[in-house]
Amino acid sequence: MQAFLVSTGLVALAEIGDKTQLLALVLASRFRRPWAIIAGILVATLANHALAGAAGRWASTFLMSHIDPNWIRWGLAAGFVAMAGWTLIPDKLDDDDKPPKSSAGAFMTTLITFFLVEIGDKTQVATVALAARYPDLVAVVAGTTLGMMLANAPIVLLGHKLADRLPTGGVRYTAAACFLLLGIYLAMGSGPITG
C-alpha cells in the first residue's frame, strides 16, 4: 500500500505545471471532448508507466545481483534529490509537443501525443525510480497512473478556469520537498531496497 500511496502522491504533485499537463489543457481547448481526452490520457499513461516501471524493476533486479545494495540505495537517493531539483523547473510546451491537426479524433490524438510527450518526462523518470525502490510493480504503476489522472482530469474538465487558479509555484515546491524527503529517507538507510 505504501508503494501505491507514495507513487500517487509524488506523481500528482510532480505533474502540476508539467508539460503533459499543459498538453492536456491544449487538447481540451482543441477538441472539447473531455471524456475522450481523459480516456486517451489514461491509456497512454498506463502504457508509458508500465514500460517505465518494468525498466525500473529490471534495473533494480539486475543491479541487486551485480552491485552492493548500499550503492543502489545511494544512487536512488541521489536520483530522488535530482528529481526534487528538476521539479522546481517550470515546464513549457514546445511547438513540437503540441498535438498535430489530425482526423484521428480526440482519443487517438491524445493517446499518441500524450504517450510520446511523456517519454523522458519527470513523471516517467519518477516511475522508473519508484519501481526500482518498491518491489510491487503493479502498485507503483497504478499509483503513478492515478497521480497523473488526479492532476490532468480536472484540467481537461475545467480547462482555463482551473489552470489560472492553481498555485503551481507552491505545488512545485511541495513536490520537490517530497522528492527530497524520499531521497533523504533512502540515504539514511531507511526502508528496504529489494530486487
Q: What is the mean pLDDT of the chain?
A: 78
d(CA 8, CA 186): 18
pLDDT band at 20 (very low <50, low <70, confident <90, very high): confident
Residue 166, pLDDT score: 53
Long-range contacts of 45-51 (CB under 8 A, 24+ apart): 45/114, 45/118, 45/144, 45/145, 45/148, 45/149, 46/141, 46/145, 47/115, 48/114, 48/115, 48/118, 48/119, 48/124, 49/123, 49/124, 49/127, 49/141, 49/144, 49/145, 49/148, 50/141
Q: Which is higher by pLDDT, 95 or 80?
A: 80
